[in-house]
Each structure stands twice: as structure tokens, then as C-alpha cells.
Amino acid sequence: MRLRAIFQPDQREFVTMALTEHLARLKEIEAQAQADFTNAPGTKELYDQKVRYFGKQGSFSELMRVMGKLGPEDKPTFGKEVNETKQRLEALYNQQESQLKSQEMATRLAQEALDLSLPGPERSQGSRHPISLVINEVISILSRIGYSVRLGPQIEGDWFNFEALNIPPDHPSRDLQDTFYVDDHHVLRTHTSPVQIHTLLNEIPPLRVLAPGSVFRCDSDVSHSPNFHQIEGMLVDRKVSMADLKGTLSYFVKELFGSSLKVRFRPSFFPFTEPSAEFDCSCPICQGKGCRMCKHSGWVEIGGCGLINPKVLMQAGLDPLEWQGLAFGFGIERMAIIKYGVQDIRLFNENDLRFLRQFE
Ligand code: PHE
């Protein structure tokens, strides 16, 4: 080392001068970096500055190259200065970064704050189908006079749907046009009356039962749907007469449509009732004056009824001299049409929400 200093005095001089210059340059860089770090408006800009000074192409890489060219006597001094400067700047950087980070977090929190007072999106609530509404109302009215619900299968044995109800094999309602046959001995029930048979075979009178449900017939137009609903009523007891039937149905109609309505029986025929009747009530829309709904007759048809045919009771092992019964069967769609003024029976099965929402 000494030899080198002695034999190369000029170079020593040159390098010493250069060192002061380099140190001055280092001070300049530090001052500039301090200003740049302090003035950076956000973390992104701050990071860009960091790259400018400490990156591969940055000022400090350049200073390292300078150091490589320094003489061994100057290297430690310069190296020490560079390192200390770097440490100071890094400390400043970290301090700035955490300050900017918390500022940015604060603005984000303010911007993205949830407005808890804002009402949420409305959830639509389902509602009961008008057919269910009518079924439930009929059940509620008749349960007040002792009736309770029984359910039967929708695929019914031929015997239950027809034979046991005294419908002989050549009866027109068995015609293929009216009945959906599942196989030779099973049909989609064409009415709820087979539930009468199931009940008579399984239970001991006195009985008061209601059987609501789907029924099926090959028929489709404005007033007929291949799948519609009925509710069956049956009462079996000692000394049952037409007076009981009329009293029951008058009570029912008044509860369902209002007290000012009149009821009437028209003689009719059903194989499973004797005597049989069609049951009408004065039109609830026009109060019997005549309107489109009642086809200007003042009356609307509710369903069929009668006293249970003794043959049916005997099929079920009951002695008709001891037990009598009354039965009635109403079309639910028919009642819903009257109650809600619906024009087309097909609306009940179309699932059009504009229609269904009116019953919410
Ligand atoms: N089951 C008959 C029908 O579907 C209605 C009815 C029921 C008639 C009970 C009399 C007694 O038309």
C-alpha cells in the first residue's frame, strides 16, 4: 500500500479530489430523494421514487459503480457514507409509506362505507293460490259444523271410482272421452266421490268428512280444464234427511258468499245418491238480479248433492234402515270464479304471476 502511495502520488491526489466530489454528489442525491419521498402524493408514486433511487438503474446502483472505481483508501469512507445515506433514506421511505398507507385506508373507508340506513332489495313473498284459498275457506266453514278432512289417491281403482258408487259399466261418464284410463283397471279419478267409499270401508259411522283434491276429465275449453278440483262432503248418521242436506248447504253458502243469498235444489240424477239434486245459490255478483256471471238467470250452480244411495251404503256393509247419509260435491274452480270474478278457468293453471299476485 505504501509503495503504491509513494509511486503513484498523482493518482492518489486525483482520487482524493474525486472523493469530495462524489461525497457532494451523494449529499445532493440524498437531498433530492428526501424531497421526492416527502412530496409523493400516494404509495404508488412513493414506490416509483424508491425504484428511481434504489432500483437496478437507480442512483444508488450508480454510486456502487463509482465506488468500484475508487482507490482502496477512499472506498471505506465513501462506502460508509453511501450506506448511512441509504439507511436514512430507507427509514424516511418506511415512515412515508406507513403514513400514506393509513391516509389511503382512511379515504377508502370513507368512500366505501356502507349506508346501513338504505332499505334492502325487496323480497317478494309467495302467496296462496286462489284454488287453495277457496279449499281452505270451505274446510274452515264446514269444520265449524263437525266435518274433518280425508284424502284419497288421484289414481283410483275402477271399482272405487265407478262400481262402488253404483255407476254401471255402460254409464256415459265412463266413456273414454271423459275418463283418463291408466290401465284396464285404473283411472285418474274423475271426481272426489271415491273418497266416500274409502271412508265408509275404513271408518265407523257417525261420520262427517270432507275430501278436497284434484280430479281429471278429458275436457278442455274456457270453462273446462282437464285437471280441476272438487271438494266432497259426506255425512253418515241415523235419521238423515233432505232437510239436513238443505240446512247444511244453506249454512255453507251464507258463510262463503254472504247472508243475503238464497239457495235452491233442482232435481237431478247421480247413480250414488237418491234423491239427487243440483244445488244453486242466488248469484253473489248481482244478488239474483241477472248478470253475465249467472247468464242472466239470477242463479249460479255450485254442485251436485243428494242422499247417499242405499246401494252404496250396503256395498260398505251398512244397513240402510239404520244408517242414512248425505253427500255433496262442489267444483272449486267454479266457486273461485264466482268469488273472485275470474273469466277464464285456464288462468288457474297458467302460473301467470300478474294473475296470482292479485290474491296476495
Ligand atoms: N261426484 C259428482 C260429480 O263429480 C258430484 C256429487 C258428489 C254429486 C256427491 C252428488 C253427491 O259431478
Q: Whose CA is nearest to atom 4 of ligand 1?
A: 191
pLDDT confidence of residue 175: 77
pLDDT confidence of residue 115: 83
> Is residue 59 in contact with ligand 1, taking CB distance under 6 Å?
no
For the cut 90, the answer to whether the pLDDT of residue 292 exceeds it is no
Q: Which amino acid is located at 340 in the chain? A: Y
Measuring CA to CA, how many Å separate 290 from each of 37, 220, 324? 93, 27, 37
pLDDT confidence of residue 132: 96
Domain layout of the chain by residue ranges: 2-109, 130-359
pTM above 0.95, yes or no: no
Q: How confident is the model at residue 17 (pLDDT cuts 50, 70, 90)?
A: low
CB atoms within 10 A of CB 19: 19
DSSP per-residue letters across 244-297: HHHHHHHHHHHHHH-TT--EEEEEEEETTEEEEEEEEEE-TTTTTS--TTTTTS
CB atoms within 10 A of CB 340: 13
Contacts of 172 (CB under 8 A, 6+ apart): 178
Q: How confident is the model at residue 16 (pLDDT cuts 50, 70, 90)?
A: low
pLDDT single digits (tens) 318-340: 999 999 999 999 999 989 988 88
Q: Do strands 273-282 and 299-308 pair parallel, antiparallel, or not at all (unpaired)? A: antiparallel
CA distance 62 to 28: 14
> Is residue 166 in contact with ligand 1, taking CB distance under 6 Å?
no
Mutate to test the pocket of ligand 1, among 272, 278, 280 (most ligand atoms within 8 A of CB): 272
- Please state, rounded to an integer, the average pLDDT across all residues of the chain: 89
pLDDT single digits (tens) 175-225: 777 899 999 999 999 999 999 999 999 999 999 999 999 999 998 777 778
Among 165-174, 188-197, 271-280, 297-306, the least confident range? 165-174
The alpha carbon of 328 and the centre of ligand 1 are apart by a number of angstroms equal to: 6
Which is higher by pLDDT, 4 or 145?
A: 145
Q: Whose CA is nearest to atom 9 of ligand 1?
A: 328
Q: List the alpha helices (DSSP H) in the chain.
A: 2-7, 9-39, 43-54, 59-69, 75-111, 130-143, 158-161, 194-202, 242-257, 310-315, 332-340, 353-356
For the cut 70, the answer to whether the pLDDT of residue 7 exceeds it is no
CATH 3.30.930.10 fits 130-359, yes or no: yes
pLDDT single digits (tens) 106-149: 999 988 888 888 888 888 788 899 999 999 999 999 999 999 99
Q: How confident is the model at residue 13 (pLDDT cuts 50, 70, 90)?
A: very low
> Is residue 284 in contact with ligand 1, taking CB distance under 6 Å?
no
> Is residue 304 in contact with ligand 1, taking CB distance under 6 Å?
yes
Mutate to test the pocket of ligand 1, among 147, 235, 270, 326 (most ligand atoms within 8 A of CB): 270
Q: How confident is the model at residue 155 (pLDDT cuts 50, 70, 90)?
A: very high
CA distance 33 to 151: 88
> Is residue 329 in contact with ligand 1, taking CB distance under 6 Å?
yes
The alpha carbon of 193 and the centre of ligand 1 are apart by a number of angstroms equal to: 6
- Atom number, ligand 1, closest to the C-alpha of residue 330: 5
CB atoms within 10 A of CB 352: 11
The alpha carbon of 218 and the centre of ligand 1 are apart by a number of angstroms equal to: 17
pLDDT confidence of residue 118: 86
Most confident option among 1-10, 273-282, 335-344: 273-282
- Cell reading at 156: 283410483
The alpha carbon of 304 and the centre of ligand 1 are apart by a number of angstroms equal to: 5
pLDDT confidence of residue 126: 85
Q: If you average pLDDT over residues 36-51, what whole number do you get?
A: 93
- Cell reading at 94: 418506511
- Cell reading at 223: 270453462
> Is residue 228 in contact with ligand 1, taking CB distance under 6 Å?
no
Among 8-12, 198-202, 245-249, the least confident range? 8-12
The alpha carbon of 32 and the centre of ligand 1 are apart by a number of angstroms equal to: 101
CB 136 within 8 A of CB 128: yes
